[in-house]
Amino acid sequence: MRKMQFVEAIIEAMAEEMRLNDKIFIMGEDVGFAGGVRLATKGLFQEFGGERVRDTPISEAVIVGAGVGAAITGSRPIVELMYGDFLFIAGDEIFNKMAKWRYEHGGTLKVPMVLRITTGGGFGGASEHSQSLESVMLAVPGYDIYYPSTPAEAKAMLKMAINDDNPTIFLEHRLLYKTTGDVPDAGVQVPFGKADIKRPGKDVTVTVHGYQVLTALSAAEKLSAEGIDVEVVDLRFIRPLDKETILSSVAKTGRLVTMEEGHKTGGIGGEVAAIVAEEGIFDLYGPIKRVAALDIPVPYSPPMEKFVLPSEQKLLDAVREAMRY
């Protein structure tokens, strides 16, 4: 067992797989000699060289398009986008090429690529560098979406994604990079598409993902002192969503609060709520509550950013409101 930073787990996962398979390579802006803008490829250029850790032009469409081309011709690229907000610049390559080409060609070709995307706010990055766009990604079928919240999960899930013949979007919240956690020497097993109950509870289910898992766990401890027992369900996979775990938890607690950093309208919480409304409505004691970013662009001003993004206090209020029923 080793204590490891989230970013170190990302690097180690890629390095271990690259040593095993010379078809794996990394490409993106500043991923080479500089080791990435967040040092998430630190040391890999020095070990594997410029052929396998490739710096690219500042063109997200070119980066993703080249990755798709490499994937369908036999390589296994790991493509990095510096900010999730740049998803739209590469939109055609992601949504119409990476996502659809295996389907459109009747399965005769594979697209075994990982698109690593840094996402999320909370650092004063303003409206074009702070968005959480999981719901946009979920709206287009054709790839899986992974979103780990711990170093151990980051390493295990990235290795899983690298070895999958299907395309994967792998989300990394920037505020998680320096968080630490135990990583077993033998690794951990993360069942594909399976959510994780980070904290069992009997009174309220809170579904959450990414960095906000830490917020939910902190809030759950505070609520415990009030006699409210919160079950924290870390989704881990945005696609496929683990309906079984969500519904089982709600059947036990009778209450559901969803939390996410994306905007409330059209968000992941709405999808979770729809699943429970369709298949678990009679297990609920009262209305579902949603905690999410307000439906305005994320501000640059730190006080305004805190006002717009979800927070521990907003979650505390929502859980207490759910407990009224």
Cis amide linkage into residue 240, ω under 30° from 0:
yes
Mode of pairing for the β-strands spanning 114-119 and 168-173: parallel
Distance CA 110, CA 85 (A): 27
Residues in the chain: 325
Distance CA 196, CA 40 (A): 25
**DSSP state letter for 240:** S
Catalytic residue IDs = 129
Whether 168 contacts 143, CB under 8 Å? yes
Angle between helices 151-162 and 6-20 (to 10 degrees): 30
Angle between helices 243-253 and 268-279 (to 10 degrees): 70
Distance CA 211, CA 42 (A): 22
Distance CA 67, CA 54 (A): 11
The enclosing H or E element of 291 equals strand 289-293
